[in-house]
Structure 1
Amino acid sequence: MTQVIVVGAGLAGLAAARRLVGADVDVVVLEARDRVGGRVEGGTLADGTPVELGGQWLGPTQDRMYALVEELGLETFRTYNDEGQLLLDLLGIQSRMSARRGALPRMSPVALADLAQGMYRFQRLARRIRLDQPWRSRDADALDAQTFHSWIHRTLRTATGRAYFHVACEAIWAAEPGDLSLLHALFYAQSGTDLETLISVDRGAQQDRVVGGSVRLAEAMADRLGDRVRLGSPVRRIEHDGSGVRVECRDGTTYDGSHVVVTLPPTLAGRLEYAPVLPSWRDQLTQRLPAGSVVKVFARYDEPFWRAEGLNGQAASDRGPVKVTFDSSPPEGRPGVLMGFLEGREARQWARRPETERREAVLECFARYFGARAATPVEYLERDWMAEEFTRGCYGAHFTPGVWTSYGEAWREPVGRIHWAGAECSPVWNGYMEGAVRSGEEVALRLVTEAASGEVAGGPR
């Protein structure tokens, strides 16, 4: 009998399995897809250039990710940033600014002062939040009863300041400010150090990339786990009682164990069958944690021509459908690869349109930011994460108003022998690859501790 069954071979599931195996705990990892990585996925352009279709960046204070890169013999490289300027396109006015952290956008003095006071107030509130128990933070009820949108429009006085926060919200959560509670926005920013870190490249969350793509981390961990990882094994049902668990896949295959670690995004975890059914407080929580809405797009050019024009390939705009772009060229600099996001409402609307129309609209945005040459790439590629059966949205789940204070106690609490892990389960770097790895390793440590006391071994069912 397998001791621990891990559902999902994303970074959280693989990190958990790796730690468990290192402690001599017998493990099997069941993955629905025919690949590992979950929301981290590698792609290859027609010329062989690797691209990150899913999770892409690492940044300072993401200590476990950098350690993992070193442990697995991989390397990182800097996102192309400081060598060029960022293009800011707000309220129909384009300007360039230094991409270095702390640089000020070219706005009117009134708009700059408004943005500065808005950032200060947000950060002051965020420092109050308890990362381990956000619902117990000071004024949590009041913060959770309002949306991020209502706070933005009450706090920011200028159209430019409001537009800046709206774009930041879409870029961080792939959601609209009205989709998430203010408490969640504050928690999430504090979880990743602060709001400026989340939106920055220089000394920020988008600073580094893994050579060959971040999916290499998942692939390297899976390689070391060997045949413990079972691909093409979507889980349908979990039976659990005081003596152990039985996990059933869609094809009828069953696995018996003493504990199960479910690493699926919350909304997908809620769609599994449980016998007995989950407690109401846990099931109600998963009903209220929607995933973000995002389509990630790439355009390949013979060279990164924008660099010669003094731009770093980054744009931030309040006009869509692509409002945020990055230079995603490989470390050697060729070919040139522009990457952009359709997020929140834009993603929801454009996902229903034909791909030809979406491509035309995307390239129009690229041309608006980087000139006519951007309208004619050699190759175009996109990934609609909302359409992925075993993801149904990215980047992660967000807490809607009232959820933290009503259901926070169920956030990471095991249900008997069912444990939860994933990017959404980490108090630190929640929603990021770092959070996923931390969460998986923390659950593994808990189970290893139980194993030492003889609780994990269980008995045959």
Structure 2
Amino acid sequence: MEADAIVIGAGLAGLTATRELKQAGWTVRLLEARERVGGRLKGYALGDGKAVDLGGEYFGDKSTLIAETARSVGVERFSTYDDGERVAFVNGKRFTYGGLIPLRLGPVALPDFGRAVLKIERLARRVPPDRPWTAPDAEKLDSQTFWSWCRRNVATAPARAFLTMAVEAAYCAGPADLSMLHVLTYANASGGFRYLLEVTKGIQRYRFDGGAHSVADKLAARLPDELRTGAVVRGIEQRSDSVVVSGPGFTARARFVVVAVPVTLAGRIAYTPALAGFRDQLTQRMPAGSAIKCLAIYDEPFWRADGRSGQVTSTDGPFRVAFDTSPADGSPGVLSAFVTGRAARTLTLLSPAERRSAVLDGLAKGLGPRAAKVVDFVEQNWLDEEFTRGCYHGYATPGTLTAHGPALRAPIGRIHWAGTETGVHQLGSMGGAIDSGRRAARELLARERGERPAGRRAEELTGHVQ
């Protein structure tokens, strides 16, 4: 295979970069290791033409890029079901409530939680998503974990537990894993920390009719000549005038390559010449989050008749949050349980039958015994997915962004980087993937015009200037 550009990875980032370059008149080859497209988007067919998502699915009013892309391929949105009471388990106590947090959390814990959220919001607004390492006090923030920040800024155990649960649900990592600077960067890029936690007023407001994965499928359908599935890239060799990409059963050559896979997987490709430590060390410090998504399917969404929204949160149960993810017409009833962070690390060691039992038990405690009586139960263990190795996105460990942040997007010779972790608009989400694919395409088109690649200074630090 020969082309102007090779794009590795047919998630939203790779599909977007390929579409943009094709529209500019370039020849492109899009190589995908799996036999499907979508990357961290994956669907599950319910029958009767209906489908739900085993991967990413939510977006809000501020998620303009994914909304725009979906419209361009004819995928419609609908509002996430959010009517009725919510259920929460906080340090073993059960609460029913409406809004963001249980009002009966306690007269001291409730304002404590509110103050912590406001502090995080104020700090996040000072962190530029494109260059978080330049933020005021960046090194101080990057030197501490979310856990250590909470110990100093959140006084009560219930508020700390609820905040930790919310972060594990949104970031898929334990509070001791996450650099505080990363927490703030992701929050600001997404539209605000509270926006990450809300449904109707937040990033969970909408879903796609037919599933988010249908957006990727329809993008791929417009790239029949460019896409090749089952192409596992093992090596990238840079030459003076080209780059050669190879894997079992194929070799492809192009002027440039866009690596549009999770950061940690990009580090598992063999590069010739080897990447300098400045970039390679980044891939060692941005692991993927831990997430298992479980779908509990019922004849009908019985919780709606009970006056419940279907949302169940838990600080110490088998999952951190569950939502009503039934199709647009409400039939059949579907609950999605998000097993994230420390809970995912625990449950991934169990058998599928044990995970099913644990999740259904958690749903039954929240919504009653009918929640244990499913028509079907499906899980997607993203930790075990060979070409993903975790969800929702790669997160920065302490010290990573200030030491290696510029390597996220800086081209290295003929290699350019994409993927949601490298996006700016809503990085870590579907919008971040699309943003990164557009940026990578713009970089290549700029090089065609003889302009310097963006992030040249960081590229020079790697020692791979071509």
Q: CA-to-partner distance for each residue in 1:121-179, whole Å, 9 max, x for gaps? A: 11111111122211111111111111000001211111111011110111011110000
- DSSP-derived class of the 1:40 partner: coil
Aligned partner letter, 1:422: G
1:86 corresponds to: 86
The CA deviation at 1:47 is 6.9
Superposed CA RMSD in Å reads 1.5
1:202 paired with 2:208, answer no
Aligned partner letter, 2:439: E
Distance in 1 of aligned mates of 2:430 and 2:185:
17
Q: CA-to-partner distance for each residue in 1:194-235, whole Å, 9 max, x for gaps? A: 111111111211111110011111111111111210000010
Q: Which region of structure 1 is more displaced relative to structure 2, 128-137 or 361-370?
A: 128-137
Q: TM-score, normalised by structure 1?
A: 0.95
The CA deviation at 1:48 is 6.0
1:391 corresponds to: 388
1:236 paired with 2:234, answer yes
1:119 to 117, 120, 133: 117
1:187 corresponds to: 185
Aligned partner letter, 2:161: A
Q: Which region of structure 1 is more displaced relative to structure 2, 447-456 or 414-423?
A: 447-456
The CA deviation at 1:375 is 0.9
1:447 corresponds to: 444
Given that 1:320 and 1:342 are in contact with CA atoms closer than 8 Å, whether structure 2 keeps it comes out as no
1:324 corresponds to: 321
Given that 2:121 and 2:194 are in contact with CA atoms closer than 8 Å, whether structure 1 keeps it comes out as no
The CA deviation at 1:331 is 0.6
1:63 paired with 2:96, answer no
1:28 paired with 2:29, answer yes
Aligned partner letter, 1:243: D
Structure 1 unpaired stretches of 5+: 457-461
Q: CA-to-partner distance for each residue in 1:389-436, whole Å, 9 max, x for gaps? A: 000111110000011111112111010110000100012211000000
1:176 to 170, 174, 177: 174
2:40 corresponds to: 39
1:211 paired with 2:209, answer yes
Distance in 2 of aligned mates of 1:290 and 1:144:
16
Given that 2:95 and 2:102 are in contact with CA atoms closer than 8 Å, whether structure 1 keeps it comes out as no
Distance in 2 of aligned mates of 1:453 and 1:319:
55
Given that 1:242 and 1:416 are in contact with CA atoms closer than 8 Å, whether structure 2 keeps it comes out as no
- DSSP-derived class of the 2:75 partner: coil
Matches within 5 A, 1:40-439: 40-45=41-46, 49-81=50-82, 83-99=83-99, 105-251=103-249, 253-439=250-436
Q: CA-to-partner distance for each residue in 1:46-90, whole Å, 9 max, x for gaps? A: 676411011111111111111111111110000001x21221221
Relative to structure 1, the CA distance from residue 454 to residue 345 in structure 2 (aligned partners, 3 Å threshold; closer, same or farther) is closer
- DSSP-derived class of the 2:3 partner: coil
How many residues are paired up? 452
Aligned partner letter, 2:402: T
2:14 corresponds to: 13
Relative to structure 1, the CA distance from residue 114 to residue 401 in structure 2 (aligned partners, 3 Å threshold; closer, same or farther) is same
Q: Percent identity?
A: 44
1:459 corresponds to: none
Aligned partner letter, 2:216: A
Relative to structure 1, the CA distance from residue 48 to residue 298 in structure 2 (aligned partners, 3 Å threshold; closer, same or farther) is farther
Structure 2 unpaired stretches of 5+: 454-466
Relative to structure 1, the CA distance from residue 104 to residue 90 in structure 2 (aligned partners, 3 Å threshold; closer, same or farther) is closer
Relative to structure 1, the CA distance from residue 13 to residue 373 in structure 2 (aligned partners, 3 Å threshold; closer, same or farther) is same
- DSSP-derived class of the 1:448 partner: helix
- DSSP-derived class of the 2:87 partner: strand
- DSSP-derived class of the 2:393 partner: coil
Relative to structure 1, the CA distance from residue 356 to residue 47 in structure 2 (aligned partners, 3 Å threshold; closer, same or farther) is farther
Given that 2:242 and 2:256 are in contact with CA atoms closer than 8 Å, whether structure 1 keeps it comes out as yes
Distance in 2 of aligned mates of 1:281 and 1:415:
11
Distance in 1 of aligned mates of 2:133 and 2:241:
33
Relative to structure 1, the CA distance from residue 113 to residue 454 in structure 2 (aligned partners, 3 Å threshold; closer, same or farther) is closer
Aligned partner letter, 2:230: G
1:2 corresponds to: 3
Distance in 2 of aligned mates of 1:228 and 1:289:
30
Given that 1:241 and 1:416 are in contact with CA atoms closer than 8 Å, whether structure 2 keeps it comes out as no
Given that 2:43 and 2:51 are in contact with CA atoms closer than 8 Å, whether structure 1 keeps it comes out as yes
Distance in 2 of aligned mates of 1:311 and 1:385:
29
- DSSP-derived class of the 2:94 partner: strand
Aligned partner letter, 1:190: N
Aligned partner letter, 1:32: A
Distance in 2 of aligned mates of 1:369 and 1:274:
50
Given that 2:314 and 2:320 are in contact with CA atoms closer than 8 Å, whether structure 1 keeps it comes out as yes
The CA deviation at 1:91 is 2.2
Distance in 2 of aligned mates of 1:177 and 1:455:
39
Q: CA-to-partner distance for each residue in 1:99-142, whole Å, 9 max, x for gaps? A: 4xx67633222111101111111111111112221111111111
Distance in 2 of aligned mates of 1:74 and 1:48:
14
Given that 1:16 and 1:441 are in contact with CA atoms closer than 8 Å, whether structure 2 keeps it comes out as yes
Given that 2:96 and 2:102 are in contact with CA atoms closer than 8 Å, whether structure 1 keeps it comes out as no
Aligned partner letter, 1:71: S
